Structure formats: structure tokens, C-alpha cells
Structure 1
């Protein structure tokens, strides 16, 4: 005999647990199913183990989607302040790190415990370590068959995320399910992911481990944060941010001295004609990086020996040093996934599939991807809350 619920949520991550908790508090009988042995696995490793649970600067223009307007409704109805109030109601201490990023003072486990406590309040049944074998739909009901049970509900919420961080069991399950129900999927690709270098750029791999504050840009997108050289290419927050905008064949430009004003090298020549480019770069950048850049620019000797035109050219190169990535480190290293279930298939107010009443898709499974820094968690909370008001 099948177990009967009002709502079945597939996925015990941030979005799934949030949706289940909110639906449970509205009196719905809710079942959560996840293939992982424990709930909230991605939450536990987020933010270096402290969970960057939201960003106070959340706004729709900080999310990528084929429809940039889609996220507005959910984000406006469940804000960072709403989730912060929930965090504080559980006595969780927090701090703002940089750029509006909020973290737990203690551990990411506190956020998982918060979500499970909220689920318990709503008498939600959370089952882990179960593999979904089949999802069927008929007579207005969804039937989910796992390796342990068969459950039925009028509403099915897909909150299984995307394939990013595949070593934790992440997969494209949500996309397979969407296609089963005839929903379009925007091609998924890795986002917030390190970029790889080859050819001439590969010489920078010798700087593996060196990090510095830069402005990294790709097309019209630009971010001022740290960049990190790795043995495979480029990483660090600034690079992860632009990776979401990067497409194969596109250049990435780095301003190594974003604090320097126009004409700084020529001014330095006037003030300290015996200074060298290498010494000036060493004063502003890590030594190994300064030496590499100076060698590439081939401006040896005192600045007095260089023409203003030569110095201007060096300045321009340092302000927009172009790299041509040959790829990314893929879903294995990507923090999130760009693409997913097309927003054209869903209601922006309720996250319900327009053509399949009772089917909802939330969180990372949807074609809405935030910047680095807590934005994707806020989308998880907001999209989950929106669906929970409708199921």
C-alpha cells in the first residue's frame, strides 16, 4: 500500500528542506527524499564550513538566467532579512565578512540543524539514503517509487540541484525528470569554477599559490576581488565570478593594479627616475607575480631610460592583461550550475510548471544562478518559500 502525502520533496538540500519546512508549517503533510546518507551535504561544506547563508545586497541583477526578470518575484517576497530573522530566532551568531556576505560564527552545521528543526516543527518526514527508481503521474497525483517505499502526493517539488560538486553525489537528475514531463532544459554548464590555461598563458602556472587583489572582467562583467594562480590556471573569487560569464574562446582581462590611477608610471618616472618597473611592481604585488609581469613587459633598467609611450603601453597592459582560457575545471570543481529547467516553463510566483499542475522546480535545478557570496543560498530560500506557499 502506498503512503500518502500532500507534498513530496525530492532533495534534502537548502531549497528542499526550506520548502518542506514552510509547507509543513502551513499544515501540509510532507515527505522529503534524498539519495545522500545525510541531509544538507552541500550546506556543510559551503563557506569554508561556515555557510555563507545569504547576501544583504541581493538583487535580481546579480543572477544569471535566460530570463533575467524571472527571479524578481521570489526574491522580493522572501528577502535576506527574512532568512536572517530565522537565523537569529535560532540563536545562531553570524557576521558579515565582505561585500554583504553573511556567515555563521560557528559552523555550517547550524544551518542544517535550523532547517531540520523547522521541518520537525511542521512534522515533515525526512528520509535519506534512498534512491528514486521511478516517478509517475496520473489522475492528478504523483507516485514516487524508491528502493524502500512507494509514496503518493498531489504536489511534487524537484529540489535536487545540478551536477556541480559531483563527488558529493550531485547529478542531472532534475533535468532528466523535467524532460520526462516535457519541460525544456537550458543547457547546463559549470559556473563559479576555476579557469584553465594553456599555451603562452601556461607560463603563469609557475605562480601557483600566488594571490592578489585584481579587477577581472569578461565582456561587460567585472569583479574586484582576489585572483589566485593555480597549477592549472586561474581561480580565486574574482575569477570564479567571471567564469559564470565566460564562454569558450572568450578572453578574460585582469587589471593587476586597480588602485593605480592613469599615468602612474609616467608620474613615477618624474618622481623617481632611477626606480625600475620591477621595484614598483614589487611594492604593490607579490614578488613572484611582480617579477613575472616585469619580465613579460621587458622594461628593464631605470624608468628614465624608457619613453613615455613605452610606459603608457606597459600601464595599459597591466590594466587589461588578457588571458585566453582553454576551458574550466568542470562540474567537479564548480560551485554551482548555470542553466537548468527553463524559466519559461515555470510560474515566477509559485515555481509551478505551467504545463504540469502540481509539479514544482526550485533552487539550483532552475535556470537561475547567482553570483558568488551567498546569492545562490538566497535563491534557494526564496524559490523554496514561493513554492511552499502554493503546494
Structure 2
């Protein structure tokens, strides 16, 4: 049997970061993971360049049944703190959108920093190691496929259910339930939305077309790009709204978010009466999309002077409430994160220790804390990992 001060299950963002913090405190730390490589989701995120933080990260960017839970960790380990760390390692990064920092070359560079930090802190990492049993005996005893482990502090950093091909599983939730913690309902989030079969056929020519839109659902609105796919709709605007939209809810897509369409088209009718509406729309929207719209509004080929106010009102309603007939999401297969998870009422917001089981900690995505798209989830991984690493 091997003895450690700290065993961390999960060699992802929060687990590796927590391990380094604990190791620097002189703790004997082991990280185990059933995968054959560490940080798989880090490597594939952000198109392989990993949006590793957002400089604007604040509690308002996170969804949780306990909205105050993330405040303490985000204050104690900020985006600037993580930027200072990667700066010390000489990471090249770029700001793609305001506050969103990506590796300039490859997410491998970021993972290498985390592994280097673990090495410097004396952390041991064992891969292809699965846990078969956990019991509370003089701390925690773990039966694994690589032998028995004993530890004083056990950290669960197993992530959620998203992208099972990367090794995601519900193991962390099973551990929580073993220790009588409640697990809140979970669903795929930051995920593309699928559409009804008939509409999918109608929009099939648009696969690969993108445009900036305003997506709204349940009182939230995001203005970002949308991408048509062969299954439905994706892109940042759709991933963002998927945190708030569920099947059966209303979903409003405004294809002209940067203008007052009523004023625009009425002025155009007066100033350029001979101009065909189709010609104008081709300057505002992708041409393939205009071709689809023309199927529903065949009078678009008419000169502006011939369009009645009813025509214009129909057009404006169509473009500002573009109906794709959504019916669900692509699910965990392509979701970036899992919404919901372990009820944070059972976990200290300062130490991330379970309030009913001394020495048991939960960090990262396995908890009921879900960030918006744009680096917020990685920042919570660093912040929660740092916080727990000071106490394990």
C-alpha cells in the first residue's frame, strides 16, 4: 500500500493546478487518472489553442444554484494571477476577443506549463489508473487498478459528462452520492442546438455559413456569431444561449442585430425605390441565406417601391425572429461543459472541503458551477484548484 498526504482523482485543469499548489506546500501529492494522457480536454479546447482565462471573469458569468459560491475563489485567485504564472513560463498568447486569452501556438504549451509546475512541486502522476473502491479509513483508502492507496486528503477533480470520447464520466457524482451529497440535475451545456428534420432539410445548403446575430432566451441575450451546421446551429451565440435555453423554450434569433430594420428599409424604399429588396439583403446577409429567405418571401425580388408596409413588417418579423425550429441539443458528445453537478451547499467556498466528510474535496466542473463561453470555466478550474490546494 502506498501512502500520500494528498491523492487527486483527475489529471485535468483543476486537478493538475491543485496538485502543484499542494506540492509547493510540501505535501506528498499523487494525481491519478484513468486516461492514458493528462489534460485531454485542455488540448482539444479552443480549437486546440485553449481559451485559458477571461480577464473579465466575475460571479455574474457563472450559473449555480448557489450564486455566491464562486465569489471567494475568484477573488483569491484572479485571471491576472494566472496570467502572471504563464508569463513567468514565457507562454505566447493572444486576446482574440475582449478578455479572452488563447495560446498563440498550441494548447500543448499550456499543458506543459501545468506539468512543469507539478514536476517542480514534486507531484507524482499516474495515468491509466482507475479507482474501484473508496473507503473512509484513517483518512481515505482507494482500491485502484494499480494497487491500494492511502491518503489524508482526497480531491475529486473528475470533471463532468461532456465529451465522453475524452474519457468523461459520472464518477465524481458517484463519489458524492457515496458520501450522501446531493447532486443537482445535469445537462449538456455550451452545446450546439439541433433543429426539426423538415427545417434541417430546408437549411441544408447553409452548412458552414456564419453571421453575427443576437440570440435570446429566458431573459438572456448574446450578440455573437452563429454558424449553420449539417445538424442545426452552432457558433458562440448558440453555445452561450444553450446555458439558458432548453427544449420547449422560446428561442429568438435576430439576424440584423446592429440596425433598426424598420427605419432602414423604409428609408431605403424612399431613397432607392428601384432597388430590389433581394439586392439589398445580399449586402446585409450571406447570399446563401438570402436564397433560403427568398423561398419564404418570394416578393423579395420586387423593387422597394412596390413593397407595402405589410410586406416590410413581415420581412422585419422574419429577420428579427428567425425561426429555425429548434428541438434539442447535440448532447454531451459535443458539449463543452456540464451544467449542474454536486450541490455546493455541501462544500466550503473557502477550502472546497466537503462539510460532512473531513478531508474530502471537490473542485472544478464536477461542482454545480458553470461558466459562460469564453475562458470562464478554465478560470474557475484554476481558482478552485488554487483554493483547495492551500488546505489539502
The interval holding the TM-score normalised by the smaller chain is: over 0.9
Give the distance between the partners of 1:346 and 1:197, measured in 2 at CA.
Answer: 38
Aligned 1:102-121 pairs, distance under 5 A: 102-121=101-120
Out of 167, 170, 175, the residue aligned to residue 169 of structure 1 is 167
Deviation at 1:293, TM superposition (A): 2.0
Give the distance between the partners of 1:278 and 1:62, measured in 2 at CA.
Answer: 40
Over residues 301-360 of structure 1, what are the superposed CA-to-partner deviations in whole Å (9 max), with x where a residue is unaligned?
112111223313322331222343111111011111101111111111111111111111
Matched, 1:309 2:304: no
Give the distance between the partners of 1:169 and 1:364, measured in 2 at CA.
Answer: 14
Matched, 1:75 2:63: no
Over residues 40-98 of structure 1, what are the superposed CA-to-partner deviations in whole Å (9 max), with x where a residue is unaligned?
11111111111111011111111111112211111111110000000000011111011
Give the distance between the partners of 1:85 and 1:132, measured in 2 at CA.
Answer: 35
Deviates more, 1:318-327 or 1:171-180: 318-327
Partner of 2:60: 61
Matched, 1:386 2:387: yes
Aligned 1:83-162 pairs, distance under 5 A: 83-139=82-138, 141-162=139-160
Partner of 1:348: 349
Matched, 1:279 2:279: yes
Structure 1: runs of 5+ lacking an equivalent? none
Matched, 1:206 2:239: no
Give the distance between the partners of 2:248 and 2:285, measured in 1 at CA.
Answer: 28
Contact 1:249–1:324 (8 Å) recurs in 2: no
Partner of 2:189: 191
Give the distance between the partners of 1:199 and 1:93, measured in 2 at CA.
Answer: 44
Matched, 1:332 2:367: no
Matched, 1:260 2:259: yes
Give the TM-score, by structure 2 length.
0.96
Give the distance between the partners of 2:199 and 2:221, measured in 1 at CA.
Answer: 20
Give the distance between the partners of 1:166 and 1:99, measured in 2 at CA.
Answer: 31
Partner of 1:35: 34
Deviation at 1:38, TM superposition (A): 1.2
Contact 2:190–2:373 (8 Å) recurs in 1: yes
Deviation at 1:294, TM superposition (A): 3.4
Aligned residue pairs total 389
| SS in structure 2 of the partner of residue 145 of structure 1 | strand
